[in-house]
Amino acid sequence: MSTQHRIGGHVSTQGGFLAALDAAGRIGANTIQIFGANPVQWRAQVPDEDTAMRFKDEARSRGIEPIFLHAPYLINLASEKGNLAAMSKTLLAKHLEIGNALGAFGVIFHIGSRGDRSEKNAEQMVVESLDAITRDVSDGRLIIENSAGAGNLVGDTLEEIGSILLGLNNSRIGFCLDTAHAFAAGILTDFSVGGLDAFAEKIDRHIGLSKLWAIHLNDSKVPAGSNKDRHENIGEGFIGGEALGRFVTHPAFSQVPLLLEVPGFDDAGPDKKNIDIVKSFFVRNE
Ligand SMILES: [Zn+2]
């Protein structure tokens, strides 16, 4: 495995941001995703300079980079309720500031559900909100994650995400592909080499492969097209290890940071065993 490959996962910040770096070390991760604040709270605070500095220094000296933040689940930029959409915008902006303080590459987020809004209307609203956030916070990247597609969730197709990115035309906004969500949404079900070629080509056409800044590498507990968001350990789900091995070693995806959000073999989240399985995919191919 080349040391260039960035393989890691979502790790807990229980015990502080530095504890997340320790957790990364334990599971053999050289890239991580963390929550910048409690993911089910509307409150969030930018860490003080001392804490942020120590985190950045330690991450650098331990070779853990890039760092990604995952935004709170509360965020819904397409909400029909005006106050919820406005609160979501404010909260996402705050997490972007937290990410900047911690030296993160960017903040990965779900767009949310449009309820009874039309797709066009929801898209327009999302574009306006993201535009405003990048004007208010002068630095840092926002990374749209594809959804599994249940309940009018926005962003379950490459076309829809591409249309939002095109509407923005903003170099600070990119794309995170979640394999389990794509599988459940029915947009990535053929993991043959030809199928992956076609999928990569489709990303390039609608979004641009240069906008693919992170991959949430997850197996799926539910079958293709089920629209449910249920992650499984690598090789234990409906996608399977062989398919995921072909996926991560495909030239379009092999250089993109891989972040696992799997339940873990001991139900304690992404673990060394899952990460070692992913590393073995690269060893077999080199
Ligand atoms: Zn994800």
H or E segment to which residue 271 belongs: none
Ligand 1 mean position, distance from CA 273 (Å): 19
Residue 220: its pLDDT value, please? 98
Provide the pLDDT confidence category of residue 273 given band limits of 50, 70 and 90.
Answer: very high
**pLDDT for 88-116, tens place per residue?**
999 999 999 999 999 999 999 999 999 88
Who contacts 86 (Cβ-Cβ below 8 Å, separation ≥6)? none
**pLDDT for 13-40, tens place per residue?**
999 999 999 999 999 999 999 999 999 9
Ligand 1 mean position, distance from CA 128 (Å): 24
Please report the beta strands in 38-140, taking only residues with DSSP state E, as ranges in sequence order.
67-70, 106-109
Instruction: Say which residue, 185 or 150, is predicted with more confidence.
Output: 185
Ligand 1 mean position, distance from CA 192 (Å): 22
- d(CA 158, CA 127) in angstroms, rounded, equals 16
Ligand 1 mean position, distance from CA 216 (Å): 5
Contact 258, 218 (CB under 8 A): no
Query: Is residue 221 scored above 60 in pLDDT?
Result: yes
Q: Mean of the per-residue pLDDT values for the chain?
A: 95
Percent of the chain scored above 90 by pLDDT? 91
Query: Is residue 286 scored above 80 in pLDDT?
Result: no
Who contacts 211 (Cβ-Cβ below 8 Å, separation ≥6)? 165, 174, 175
Residue 108: its pLDDT value, please? 98
Residue type, 107: V
Residue 285: its pLDDT value, please? 64
- Return the structure tokens found at 142: 């926002």
- Please state the domain extents for the chain: 7-285
**pLDDT for 54-91, tens place per residue?**
999 999 999 999 999 999 999 999 998 889 999 999 99
CA angle 271, 276, 282 (to 5 degrees): 140
Tell me the β-bridge partners of 275: none
Place of tokens 């900047």: 100
- Return the structure tokens found at 83: 């106050």
Residue 71: its pLDDT value, please? 97
pTM above 0.85, yes or no: yes
Ligand 1 mean position, distance from CA 108 (Å): 9
Contact 31, 259 (CB under 8 A): yes
Ligand 1 mean position, distance from CA 261 (Å): 6
Please check whether the domain covering 7-285 is classified as CATH 1.10.1660.10: no
Q: Is 202 exposed, middle or buried (0-12, 13-18, 19+ CB in 10 A)?
A: middle
